[in-house]
Amino acid sequence: MSLYDKYILPKVLNCTCGSKPISYQRKKVVPLAKGKILDIGIGSGLNIPFYDLSKIDKIYGLDPSSELIKIAKKMAVKKNISIEFLLCGAEDIPLPNNSIDTVLITYSMCTIPEVLKANYEMLRVLKPDGRLIFCEHGLAPDKSVAKWQKRINPVWGKIAGGCNLDRDIPNLISSSGFKILSIEEMYLPSTPKFAGYNYWGIAQK
């Protein structure tokens, strides 16, 4: 791990992923999570303030970055919320089949190296009636914006921790075996268009 990845990138991600437009998106989806929750890519814990604890039985927070988990643990203590942290990637989730009520994923599907494998793992751990609640940025519908996304993506990934600008989020979800129940999409305000096209909604196993 480079010095940039260890010391600088976690702070950059915490700042950019905690912007006002993104926080507003989190506020829309995170309170929908209920029962036994798996928060994929919990990162620095930016979802934690938005959990509706009256609906929650248990929270697992998964992330491959020990540096980001350190920040998330501080947030959990600050909010007096008990979270079992899992230091690993989403491609190999250390939980039993059919054990989770809600998989929550926010601004992480863009970064997971083997995203389809991770989506299959999310499907595996969900109970038969379990739900995937998602909020992600991805491929824009406008050809001019999508063109720039593809041009910028190779450089963007190197400075943004492997983040991809041009992933087709609805297709990634549905092709993994999920049934999308509801989805909304738009460009986030006060955000560059190439990085600001958002998809959010609910899918079911």
pTM across the whole model: 0.94
Cα distance between the two ends of the chain:
36
Provide the mean pLDDT of the chain: 94
pLDDT at position 69 over 90:
yes
Q: In what order do the strands lie in the sheet with 126-137?
A: 84-87, 56-63, 35-40, 100-106, 126-137, 197-204, 179-187
pLDDT-derived band at 9 (thresholds 50, 70, 90) equals low
3-204, which class in CATH?
alpha beta
Task: Take residue 18 and report the two structure tokens written for it.
Answer: 């905690």
Per-position b or e across 80-93, b if 16+ CB within 10 A of its CB: ebebebbeebbbeb
Which residues, 6+ apart, have CB-to-CB distance to 48 below 8 Å? 42, 72, 75, 76, 79, 81, 83
pLDDT at position 158 over 70:
yes
What are the residue ranges spanned by the domains of the chain? 3-204
- Between 3 and 129, the more confident residue is 129
What are phi and psi for residue 40, nearest 5 degrees?
-80, 130
For the chain, what percent of residues have pLDDT higher than 70?
94
Question: Looking at residue 173, what is its pLDDT?
Answer: 98
For the chain, what percent of residues have pLDDT higher than 90?
89
% helix, strand, coil for the chain, step of 5:
40, 25, 35
Question: Looking at residue 51, what is its pLDDT?
Answer: 98
pLDDT at position 68 over 90:
yes
Task: Take residue 64 and report the two structure tokens written for it.
Answer: 């491959």
